[in-house]
Structure 1
Amino acid sequence: MARTLPDGESLLVRTDFTDDAAWAETLAAVVAAYDEDTMTELTPVDDVALDGLSPAELADLAGDRTYVFLAGTTTMTDPEHPLLAVDTGTDGEPVFRIAPVAVAEVEVNFLLADMDFEDYADSVDDDGVFRGFDR
């Protein structure tokens, strides 16, 4: 199977297919992070052809996107389901993890180019997860 990504500005790419319930919980938490007035371009990508895709491989597939959110093994196994923010301009170097409750805040600021990876990476908790500025 060829590995490709769909069109879309912001992608949330599932790369671990070991737990469908964890994926459903993750998506529900991400969707709940948005309110009806929040601008979003987030597209969940649930394609088994992407199983096991590394951040670097994801960056190679990203085209002209500057970031991608990845739902990998840690997302599926950690009870909080933190996603990985991948900076596609740095050969897919993971920069920080995001709690699903904070995805809307990060995605909107990335879309508007109001903030960048360093702004969030400098604001993660001790465990490396960004949970929002207003906690």
Structure 2
Amino acid sequence: MSLPQPDDLTSLVVRTDFSSDVAWEAVRAAVDSCDEYPQATYVSDRTYAGATVSALVDVDAAAAEEHKVAYLFLADEVTMAHTEHPLLAVDLYDEPGRTFRVPPLYFADISANLSISNMDFADFADAVDAAGVYRGFGKD
């Protein structure tokens, strides 16, 4: 088994919480409204219901090299329940399992830079605030 591949120049957003279709649509709308170009490949497959970061790291590690994914974003319980809908960014390549939260407002910047390898996951993870949320550079 391997993770789905994102569309060209987009990032995977994997739904792991299926408690509310309304919340899922709100997350998608928030992400899509932040850029004129598509930035996300959405995966809403119950195969991933309740999937943990550790499990996804293991799935990616076991995948053939051509099917590995460097990073992804999870729409988990916190994403769905919180009014700001912060996605959980997950590193699968440099420091597998490293995470931080990102509100949809900043998703496009991260997705664009990671999808073209302009910046590394750590560049964003190292710029989070005290709560572990990325809100832009120099805003901690």
TM-score bracket, normalised by the shorter chain, equals 0.7 to 0.9
Counterpart contact for 1:96–1:128, Cα < 8 Å:
yes
Distance 1:13 1:28 in 2: 15
Report the 3-state secondary structure (helix = DSSP H, G, I; strand = E; otherwise coil) of the residue aligned with 1:12: strand
Structure 1, unmatched stretches of 5+, are: none
Q: 1:116 to 1:91 in 2, by over 3 A?
A: closer
Q: Is it true that 1:70 corresponds to 2:83 in the alignment?
A: no
Q: CA deviation digits over 1:24-67, x for unaligned, max 9?
A: 1111000011124xx74x21000112100001212233441110
Who is 1:95 aligned against? 99
Bigger Cα displacement from structure 2, 42-51 vs 53-62: 53-62
Instruction: Report the RMSD for the aligned CA atoms in angstroms.
Output: 2.2
Whether the 8 Å contact between 1:66 and 1:87 is mirrored in structure 2 is yes
1:13: which partner in 2?
14
AA paired with 1:20?
D
| Structure 1 residue 106, shift from structure 2 partner | 0.2
TM value normalised by structure 2: 0.81
Does the 8 Å contact 1:57/1:92 carry over to 2?
no
Unaligned runs of 5+ in 2: 61-66
Deviation at 1:134, TM superposition (A): 8.4
CA–CA distance in structure 1, aligned partners of residues 84 and 120 of structure 2: 23
Residues of 1 paired with 2:127 and 2:138: CA distance?
11
Give the C-alpha shift of residue 87 in structure 1: 0.7
TM-score, scaled to structure 1: 0.84
CA contact (8 A) 2:3 2:68 kept: no
Q: Counterparts of 1:133 and 1:108 in 2: how far apart (Å)? A: 15
Number of the residue aligned with 1:55: 53
Query: Does the Cα contact within 8 Å between 2:5 and 2:69 map onto a contact in 1?
Result: no
Q: Could you say which residue in structure 1 is the equivalent of 2:133?
A: 129
Q: Distance in 2 between matches of 1:91 and 1:60?
A: 13
In structure 1, give the amino acid aligned to 2:4.
P
- Aligned positions, number: 130
SS in structure 1 of the partner of residue 54 of structure 2: helix
